[in-house]
Amino acid sequence: MAEKTYRVSGMSCGHCAASITEEVVEVSGVTQVDVDVPTGRVTVQGESVDDDAVRAAITEAGYEVTAAAQGAAA
């Protein structure tokens, strides 16, 4: 299973986290989404997750990915 972490700007509350989780969990291959509002990090786990699709889902939720995904196979 792969894990990638994205830096996201504009999050300030639990509703922000819920909005991002709701969109990203719909991306094919995603099995888990963890959002840490204070650090602005969104961690995505899954098999063969499309980076562009995750970025698009975060944008759809109304937020901006501000740093490239970092991650490795687990």
Measured over the CA atoms of residue 25, residue 40, residue 16 and residue 9, the dihedral's sign is: negative
pTM for this prediction: 0.89
* Parent domain of 41: 2-73
The total domain count for the chain is 1
The CATH number linked to 13 is 3.30.70.100
d(CA 41, CA 9): 9
pLDDT in tens, 34-74: 999 999 999 999 998 899 999 999 999 999 999 877 775 44
> Helix H segments across 1-74?
14-24, 51-60
Tell me, what's the pLDDT at 72?
55
Residues facing 7 on adjacent strands: 41, 67
Model confidence at 17: pLDDT above 80 = yes
